[in-house]
Structure 1
């Protein structure tokens, strides 16, 4: 009888200590006549099963991606451009704006005039420039434009006289 009382107090203590759901299974059996008499279980049968566990999956540094930025040269040397065409999309000034090329806020180079793209590299500094050679040649500065018209007038006067 003392064995039965001891087992029931141990069982009640275990039930109070172990919260439901913490163990996958907890079985406390009541003693039977065969158990007390030294039968198959040996008197006191308390069977605890393993906790329900899940192996840690570990952490990975893959599995994320960013949208492409589409950087690089968009119009190559010799290609025709019109005003507003993007020539180079870049981060920083890998290429610098040259004649008839301007730079946007994000360092994008774009054409200011219609013409052909030309790339140039300074051999001393290594700096790369992007130019647009306008259709019909480079425009003449207004100061020199007057000289050109005066030269034409004198040439026509000489041709008439001579």
Structure 2
């Protein structure tokens, strides 16, 4: 039996699932998922890495409810690690229209740092990274597949 730590790229996973499956899996229990994926291992820690929604009170409220539910359902087994969103002012070169776009910051770096910290622990044998973000491929030592 091995000991596994899990790193979940929350923003990336949530939006990918919503795009592929609608709302069916949006209330996913990541500790239970990890236990099913690594049935012979002891799940020693699950880090859910995300960033708080900006400028949308309803979405921010839903996100906070979800994060609180995850922590309450898995006390001591799941930790939320927050990055941040950054507002980016955009302008169309063709028509000069202006809008605000949002860019998630720090999550990829937080995942890479967590990988390094976990790699140094004698209490963990395996790290499971749950993400579809190809930016993480160098950190986990795989080549990205192109569509």
Pick the TM interval, shorter chain: under 0.3
TM-score, scaled relative to structure 1: 0.20
Greater strand proportion: 2
Q: Which is greater in Rg?
A: 1
TM-score, scaled relative to structure 2: 0.21
